[in-house]
């Protein structure tokens, strides 16, 4: 399934996964701005319990995520082992691989996900699981550091004339 041409925020897609709420476990995530119709459909399909809205501009938004690891029982030892998952793919509009770290807030993307059924403590549902992102219009991320506001003087340059005896 694909959300086409959605404005995205907080893309954490490669070596910069976020942490899960209330946990030390990590996950890849991307927030997608939705139309009002898409938002209502998102809740109706059971992907979310209620509509969410961007705190900055009030538009409907959804978070699509994917775990960075999964637990599997070792058939020999019986112990649970944490195994790594591959990150979601990131492509440009031409289908070429793209650096995930330059996707800035406001980029327009196609976001691919699969429906993953789940069952826990007698409850059932369907969760969208992030597969990949295709960047259609890039707003490049330039880092969130603080700018250097100092003014600097030019370094003096030592001049050596032929008349001086250089001791080396």
**CATH code, 32:** 2.40.50
Does residue 129 sit within a domain?
Answer: yes
Q: Is residue 98 assigned to a domain?
A: yes
Kindly state the percentage of the chain with pLDDT values over 90: 54
Three-state secondary structure readout of the chain:
CEEEEEEEEEEECCCCCEECCCCCCEEEEEEEECCHHHHHHHHHCCCCCCCEECCCCCCEEEEEEEECEEEEECCCCCCEEEEECCCCEEEECCCCECCHHHECCCCEEEEEEEEEEEEECCEEEEEEEEEEEEEEECCECCCCCCCCCCCCCCCCCCCCCCCCCCCC
Does the pLDDT at position 145 exceed 90?
no
Q: Is residue 147 part of a domain?
A: no
**Predicted confidence (pLDDT) per residue in 54-76, tens digit:** 999 999 999 999 999 988 888 88
Residue numbers of the domain that contains 102:
2-137
pLDDT digits (tens, 9 = 90+) for 21-48: 888 889 999 999 999 999 999 999 989 9
Predicted confidence at residue 161, as pLDDT, reads 65
Whether residue 158 is contained in a domain is answered as no
Mean pLDDT of all residues belonging to the chain: 88
Overall number of domains in the chain: 1
pLDDT-derived band of residue 8, with 50, 70 and 90 as boundaries?
very high
């Amino acid at each position: 399934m694909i959300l086409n041409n959605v404005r995205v925020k907080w893309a954490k897609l490669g070596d910069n996964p976020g942490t899960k709420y209330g946990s030390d476990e990590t996950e890849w995530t991307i927030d997608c701005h939705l139309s009002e119709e898409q938002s209502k459909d998102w809740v109706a399909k059971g992907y979310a319990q209620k509509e969410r809205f961007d705190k900055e501009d009030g538009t409907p938004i959804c978070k699509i995520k994917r775990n960075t690891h999964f637990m599997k029982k070792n058939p020999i030892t019986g112990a649970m082992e944490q195994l790594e998952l591959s990150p979601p793919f990131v492509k440009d509009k031409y289908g070429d691989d793209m650096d995930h770290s330059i996707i800035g807030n406001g980029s327009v993307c196609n976001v691919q996900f699969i429906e993953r059924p789940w069952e826990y403590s007698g409850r059932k549902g369907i969760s969208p699981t992030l597969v990949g992102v295709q960047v259609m219009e890039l707003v490049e991320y330039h880092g969130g550091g603080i700018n250097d506001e100092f003014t600097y003087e030019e370094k003096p340059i030592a001049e050596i004339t032929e008349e001086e005896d250089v001791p080396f």
